[in-house]
Amino acid sequence: DAKTTQPPSMDCAEGRAANLPCNHSTISGNEYVYWYRQIHSQGPQYIIHGLKNNETNEMASLIITEDRKSSTLILPHATLRDTAVYYCIVRAPFGNEKLTFGTGTRLTIIP
């Protein structure tokens, strides 16, 4: 799987949009970008995933650059409950479907 690079930590004011970047410059053409988050002492929670096009769901939006070498997860109106470690993971569609977790970004929402 392609390696991803994320900033170790970020702060965001409550109610503002949180924009979490991820670099995946070695991504292959058929690999998906997945985002998970882990709130303290819980299992990771699936957020969103995409291949080429931007995606949006009830939790977040995913913006993938045209060259697919980076992406941004957007939490439109951050709340205190969004404080967590956010992981950006690149995964092949078939065969080896293991998820390799990096160190992620620790997002802290400030009241």
Residues that bind another protein (CB under 8 A): 30, 32, 34, 36, 38, 41-46, 49, 87, 93-94, 97-104
Between 40 and 111, name the residue whose CB sits nearer to another protein: 40
CB 86 within 8 A of CB 104: yes
CA distances from 52 to 3, 13, 71, 76 (A): 18, 30, 10, 21
Is the CB of 34 or the CB of 70 nearer to another protein?
34
Shortest distance in whole angstroms from residue 96 CB to another protein: 9
- If the CB atoms of residues 30 and 66 are measured against another protein, the closer one turns out to be 30
Give the amino acid at 96: N
Distance, CA of 91 to CA of 98 (rounded, Å): 7
**C-beta of 86: minimal distance to another protein in Å?**
12
